[in-house]
A = this chain, B = another copy of it.
């Protein structure tokens, strides 16, 4: 069987001494060095031998970042370097060819990846390109709102907020909207960012000689509750905690428009303008537009994959992470895109790839094993469910840090946990 597999990738090499037929190894190309892509590569490099496959990982940056830690980097409570690490430090560089480049297009008919200034051919493709912000067509959000999207956007947001505080006292006529921060969305990212922001604001006030009372933090959420999908008791805990720290909630309120001056919201047909020099959009993600443009059947950039994580009709294309759609059959709705699922998919994907490459063994069906979800509320508080148990306060916060450390461990083992882990435990 192993020989069979190789025969599929026969190629002709002609050297000066004469023609000869050599066997070409299958080329596996993994797009994206996020949770899904990195786990796939780190598992695959162990599962298949050096003679069995060529593995190439393509990523826009030479680093991986912890998407689920960006709310901290954005608020400035954790340095962004703590939330990223070099990809070359966690892959086997003798086994994996790392290409730092941006994916422009997937040509699935020619089995080709178009990069910014080169091309790559694949026999097996793993699409793990992650998500993009979804603005639902709300006017002005793309132009005026900041995002908690990646390292670049997070440190820009951190510096933008700091610049507003730094400028406040330089102006003769004080503009209080410099100190108003609107967060669009009370979902996971929005709530976690608010928790960090509430801790960061007093530091900024001290740094720039500003009265805390001048600062206003407003969270606008269109849904009828914060943290939709969470247990109501946990939602109450989170909202009360943030309110006590000075966050105003406008629940059941939709952002109609974002302008240079702030936002316009609507509730029960009442329109209101909130002047704010900082608007953060944290209310939704979609799959990657490259997936859409490649012509896979998709819903907002997410592809409903088969049980083996392959794109329907494309047995050579695996799609995992935020670009994939997996249905939770218990409630007949998609699982929300999380790091947890992406990493589990990476494990399954690597196993199934090795079966495909060897044409041997049995493919594994993917079934998410949801261990829980914990939303942090700043450094020492959180709410969540872990193994079916509701947790709040320092216990939840402890679990959250263990979850964060586990993500590091999954990719880089103990050395990475020691280097980047969270040990600020009360």
Q: Point out residues on A near B: beta carbons under 8 Å.
A: 61, 152-153, 155-156, 158-160, 162-163, 166-167, 169-170, 207-209
Please give 18 more A-B residue pairs, beta carbons under 8 A apart, in addition to A152-B169, A152-B170, A153-B170.
A61-B209, A155-B166, A155-B207, A155-B208, A156-B163, A156-B166, A156-B167, A156-B170, A158-B166, A159-B159, A159-B162, A159-B163, A159-B166, A159-B167, A160-B163, A162-B162, A162-B163, A163-B163
B residues less than 8 Å from A61 (CB atoms): 209
B residues less than 8 Å from A170 (CB atoms): 152-153, 156
Q: What distance in Å separates the Cβ of A150 from its nearest Cβ neighbour in chain B?
A: 9
Q: What distance in Å separates the Cβ of A76 from its nearest Cβ neighbour in chain B?
A: 11
Q: What distance in Å separates the Cβ of A352 from its nearest Cβ neighbour in chain B?
A: 35
Chain B residue nearest to A166 (CB atoms) is B159
Chain B residue nearest to A164 (CB atoms) is B159
B residues less than 8 Å from A159 (CB atoms): 159, 162-163, 166-167
- In the bound complex, how far is the Cα of B167 from the Cα of A162, in angstroms? 13
| Residue of A158, A163, A208 ringed by the most chain B CB atoms within 10 A | A163
| Main SS class of interface, A | helix
B residues less than 8 Å from A162 (CB atoms): 159, 162-163
A-B contact pairs, 6 of them (CB 8 A): A153-B170, A155-B207, A156-B170, A158-B166, A160-B166, A162-B162
Question: How many chain copies?
Answer: 2
Q: What distance in Å separates the Cβ of A187 from its nearest Cβ neighbour in chain B?
A: 23
Q: What distance in Å separates the Cβ of A109 from its nearest Cβ neighbour in chain B?
A: 28
- In the bound complex, how far is the Cα of B277 from the Cα of A163, in angstroms? 15
B residues less than 8 Å from A158 (CB atoms): 166
| Residue of A156, A167, A207 ringed by the most chain B CB atoms within 10 A | A156
- In the bound complex, how far is the Cα of B93 from the Cα of A221, in angstroms? 52
Q: What distance in Å separates the Cβ of A14 from its nearest Cβ neighbour in chain B?
A: 41
Chain B residue nearest to A169 (CB atoms) is B152
B residues less than 8 Å from A166 (CB atoms): 155-156, 158-160
- In the bound complex, how far is the Cα of B152 from the Cα of A209, in angstroms? 9
Chain B residue nearest to A81 (CB atoms) is B207
- In the bound complex, how far is the Cα of B170 from the Cα of A152, in angstroms? 6
B residues less than 8 Å from A207 (CB atoms): 155
- In the bound complex, how far is the Cα of B81 from the Cα of A208, in angstroms? 10
Q: What distance in Å separates the Cβ of A128 from its nearest Cβ neighbour in chain B?
A: 22
| Residue of A159, A160, A162 ringed by the most chain B CB atoms within 10 A | A159
Q: What distance in Å separates the Cβ of A101 from its nearest Cβ neighbour in chain B?
A: 15
Q: What distance in Å separates the Cβ of A8 from its nearest Cβ neighbour in chain B?
A: 40
- In the bound complex, how far is the Cα of B159 from the Cα of A153, in angstroms? 16
Chain B residue nearest to A153 (CB atoms) is B170
- In the bound complex, how far is the Cα of B170 from the Cα of A178, in angstroms? 22
Chain B residue nearest to A80 (CB atoms) is B207
- In the bound complex, how far is the Cα of B152 from the Cα of A349, in angstroms? 55
- In the bound complex, how far is the Cα of B169 from the Cα of A170, in angstroms? 28
| Residue of A153, A166, A207 ringed by the most chain B CB atoms within 10 A | A166
- In the bound complex, how far is the Cα of B154 from the Cα of A208, in angstroms? 11
B residues less than 8 Å from A169 (CB atoms): 152
Chain A to chain B: the 7 pairs with minimum beta-carbon distance, closest first: A159-B166, A159-B163, A152-B170, A156-B166, A152-B169, A163-B163, A156-B170
- In the bound complex, how far is the Cα of B209 from the Cα of A170, in angstroms? 30
- In the bound complex, how far is the Cα of B167 from the Cα of A61, in angstroms? 16
- In the bound complex, how far is the Cα of B281 from the Cα of A279, in angstroms? 31
B residues less than 8 Å from A155 (CB atoms): 166, 207-208
Q: What distance in Å separates the Cβ of A98 from its nearest Cβ neighbour in chain B?
A: 17
